[in-house]
Structure 1
Amino acid sequence: MKPVLMALLLVCSSAQAAMGPFDVYEQALRNDPVFLGAIKERDAGLENRLIGRAGLLPRLSYSYNKGRNNSQATLPDGRGASYRDDRNYNSYGSTFTLQQPLFDYEAYANYRKGVAEALFADENFRDKSQALLVRVLTYYTQALFAQDQIDIARAKKKAFEQQFQQNQHLFKQGEGTRTDILEAESRYELATAEEIQALDEQDASLRELGALIGMPSVNITDLAPLNAGFATFTLTPASYDTWHELAITNNPTLASQRQSLEVARYEVERNRAGHLPRVTAYATSRQQESDTGNTYNQRYDTNTIGIELSMPLYAGGGVSASTRQASRAMEQAEYELEGKTRETLIELRRQFSACLSGVSKLRAYQKALVSAEALVVSTQQSILGGERVNLDALNAEQQLYSTRRDLAQARYDYLMAWTKLHYYAGNLRDTDLAKVDEAFGPMTR
């Protein structure tokens, strides 16, 4: 019983060690430097709201000075002459100043610009959060598809090697040809090259996954493979028009571009405010002693409340130039928003079509695989009966393995299309990745 128990424990431990896409995503949230940097970028961007608001709030300042003065004053003596008075004295001043903007359009534009910058930071972070889900699934499926290609290449090598040995045996008996041997050998070498390429692609994908979770690399045996009985998802909503509306409303890239346009719009207003007056209410409390030569040995306690009006008259044309410059930047932002909207909707339509056609493609490839398997058996029997030749067998084997590869590719393409459709619609959440995660099971290799 002990060997059986140990075997069961090993199977259970290997199944528990296998990571699905959701497991990788949870680790990426803690370790991916791109995502961690995005958090800090968002936190920094949110401060723009408070920075902009500060220009509308009261400002309180305090100043203090104390000094030693050595002064020589020339004073009239009352008889038409003058005399010198050497004065060595201490002076000091203490001032509290409170200011409250009453009308400052530049400060108001700065506040609205800060709000837009904060919203931009928030939407940009939402975009990068959803992009992390896409990156995780992209590298995950690339690694698994590379493994499928490796398995197919090795199966091809094994089949072509058997065919090569069989052809050599037939050639020695005078029943085969040198061409048959060369054909089998050529197919074997091509399969070897495909295996090498797939190994390189898998290594790159596993390293990308490792970078997401803070490891040098990930072992393919650590990843749960796609279930053999994988079935497509029900597409909800089923209408493209609904997806279109979702993308326009929720897509974080478009939302951040709209906020970027708002930032540019209020930058124009901020520069335009250079032509407008400013009205500020102020209150000061000032204490001075011997502050100047005229107040020598005099102390003043002064409290002042008032309103200050400042009106710009001419600034060398700088205000007009900066306003025109900001206007051109705003127009650029408008075109960028339009271009990004078109690009997003094109990708949305592509992924929506891929989801619809993916169902039919999977069904067709599954039927094609059954036919290809039957073709291999039929061709081998026909060769024994003298109705087919060696090349027919090689072609049948090649078609079988190509169909297996295309079926695997179609499965991963469908999962990526379904995920990207939600991403471009702006409603991709971790619950969606959890649903995709259910399509992957414990290790079977």
Structure 2
Amino acid sequence: EQRAIGRQLEQTKERFEVGLLPITDVHEAQAVYDGATVNTLENEAALDISFEALGVITGQQHFQLAGLSADFPVRPTEPADSASWVEFSQNNNFKLKVVRLAMTAAEKRANAAKAEHLPTVTASLTWSNFHDDGHFKKKKPLPRETQPYSIDDEPTVFAIRMDAPLFTGGLVSAERRKAYQQYIQTQEMHLLAQRATTQQARSQHLLVQTNAARVKARSQAITSAQSALEATEAGYDVGTRNIVDVLLTQRGLFQAKRNYANARYDYLVSMLKLRQVAGQLSPEHLANLDRWLDPGLKVNRAAAPGSS
């Protein structure tokens, strides 16, 4: 945009120097060019910030990326109804699963703390086998004789023990109440997570549908802006339009192209977020998206880190 308007500005200055245009046209063209320069600086700064954010995620600096192919398909969601996506999210959302598991664990802890009041019954069964044999000498009658002996014993002991926490200073009761309140807390957290997940699924579904329609509308806007520029340039050639009209219409065309690119980006991000909320975002989805990146469409970083 800045380069195209800059060329128009140079042509305007040349026409002024040969007396074909008044100085006011030069000043107006300069004002449009200055506005384009500001837009360029702002966009370059935003691009650098995005590259920095990407570096935080990947752990390395990036200076060039592949752009999204012009053939990237923009379609409405499948299934098209939001109710299906809400159902997907309630069953598969990972954050909701974590909260649900935390609630189950808290319930088990509450039941365990409640059981501390109950008596504990312990039963044991012990069986042993004892055998001994040998000889012993008789003292009488004389002469002393030896006589063999044998002992077999199989004692069995069965015991039952019951322990009851009659009084522990209130510790058991306090732990039981604490565990139960923690369980109630996780129930509320689970309910809140369910509501938030439902809201996110519906919102992201609506965004995908809206952004898909925006991409189509922005594409048509480029065609309209191109036609408007051609008509304005034709009017300028015959003297019915001035250079400012041409520059403003030209800037409108570049704005339409930016809006189209932003709409495609918004659609892509909203689709990824919808799949994430629904618990359906997988490495296969990212690999499929990577195939739509065109190395020929280079996105270069505006400035290297540390440069001024």
TM-score for both structures, normalised by structure 1: 0.55
Greater shift in the superposed pair: 179-188 or 347-356: 179-188
Q: Which residue of 2 aligns with 1:55?
A: none
| Correspondence 1:266 to 2:111 | no
Higher relative contact order (CA 8 A, sep 6+): 2
Q: Within 5 A, what are the aligned runs for 1:12-23?
A: none
Q: 1:252: how far off?
A: 1.1
Q: Within 5 A, what are the aligned runs for 1:429-440?
A: 429-440=282-293
Change (3 A) 1:324 1:180: farther
1:157 counterpart letter in structure 2:
Q
Rounded Cα–Cα distance in structure 1 between residues aligned with 2:186 and 2:297: 52
Rounded Cα–Cα distance in structure 1 between residues aligned with 2:222 and 2:263: 13
Q: Return structure 1 stretches of 4+ with deviation > 4 angstroms.
A: 281-284, 303-307
Rounded Cα–Cα distance in structure 2 between residues aligned with 1:384 and 1:169: 16
Q: 1:416: how far off?
A: 1.4
Change (3 A) 1:186 1:338: farther
1:218 counterpart letter in structure 2:
H
Contact 1:415 1:436 (C-alpha < 8 Å) held by counterparts = no
Rounded Cα–Cα distance in structure 2 between residues aligned with 1:385 and 1:214: 57
Contact 2:124 2:158 (C-alpha < 8 Å) held by counterparts = yes
Rounded Cα–Cα distance in structure 2 between residues aligned with 1:180 and 1:431: 56
Q: Which residue of 2 aligns with 1:236?
A: 78
Rounded Cα–Cα distance in structure 2 between residues aligned with 1:283 and 1:191: 92
Q: 1:283: how far off?
A: 8.2
The alignment partner of 1:235 has SS state of coil
Change (3 A) 1:363 1:277: same
1:219 counterpart letter in structure 2:
F
Alpha-carbon RMSD across the aligned residues, in angstroms, is 2.6
Contact 1:160 1:185 (C-alpha < 8 Å) held by counterparts = no
1:184 counterpart letter in structure 2:
A
Q: 1:226: how far off?
A: 0.8
| Correspondence 1:275 to 2:101 | no
| Correspondence 1:224 to 2:54 | no
Q: 1:258: how far off?
A: 1.0
The alignment partner of 2:280 has SS state of coil
Rounded Cα–Cα distance in structure 2 between residues aligned with 1:395 and 1:281: 93
Query: Quick one: which of 29, 32, 42 aligns to 1:197?
Result: 42
Contact 2:76 2:208 (C-alpha < 8 Å) held by counterparts = no
Change (3 A) 1:162 1:315: same
Query: Quick one: which of 169, 178, 185 aligns to 1:325?
Result: 178
Change (3 A) 1:407 1:304: farther
Rounded Cα–Cα distance in structure 1 between residues aligned with 2:232 and 2:62: 41
The alignment partner of 1:427 has SS state of coil
Rounded Cα–Cα distance in structure 2 between residues aligned with 1:189 and 1:281: 92
Greater shift in the superposed pair: 423-432 or 386-395: 386-395
The alignment partner of 1:442 has SS state of strand
Query: Quick one: which of 194, 197, 214 aligns to 1:361?
Result: 214
Deviations 1:247-283 (A, max 9, x none): 1111111111111111222232232233122234568
Contact 2:96 2:194 (C-alpha < 8 Å) held by counterparts = yes
1:404 counterpart letter in structure 2:
K
Q: Which residue of 1 aligns with 2:259?
A: 406
Rounded Cα–Cα distance in structure 2 between residues aligned with 1:283 and 1:164: 103
Q: 1:170: how far off?
A: 3.5
Rounded Cα–Cα distance in structure 1 between residues aligned with 2:172 and 2:30: 78
Q: Which residue of 2 aligns with 1:141?
A: none
The number of residue pairs the alignment matches comes to 270
Rounded Cα–Cα distance in structure 2 between residues aligned with 1:378 and 1:179: 23
1:420 counterpart letter in structure 2:
K
Deviations 1:340-368 (A, max 9, x none): 22222222112212222333222211111
2:179 counterpart letter in structure 1:
A
Rounded Cα–Cα distance in structure 2 between residues aligned with 1:306 and 1:185: 103
More helix per residue: 1
The alignment partner of 1:224 has SS state of strand
Q: Which residue of 1 aligns with 2:129?
A: none
Q: Within 5 A, what are the aligned runs for 1:123-272?
A: 156-215=1-60, 217-220=61-64, 223-233=65-75, 235-272=77-114
1:269 counterpart letter in structure 2:
N
Rounded Cα–Cα distance in structure 2 between residues aligned with 1:370 and 1:390: 21
Rounded Cα–Cα distance in structure 1 between residues aligned with 2:229 and 2:9: 16
Rounded Cα–Cα distance in structure 2 between residues aligned with 1:233 and 1:328: 47
2:201 counterpart letter in structure 1:
L
TM-score for both structures, normalised by structure 2: 0.78
Change (3 A) 1:318 1:228: same
Query: Which structure has the bigger radius of gyration?
Result: 2
Rounded Cα–Cα distance in structure 2 between residues aligned with 1:309 and 1:181: 102
| Correspondence 1:381 to 2:234 | yes
Rounded Cα–Cα distance in structure 2 between residues aligned with 1:412 and 1:441: 15
2:28 counterpart letter in structure 1:
E
1:260 counterpart letter in structure 2:
A
Change (3 A) 1:324 1:179: farther
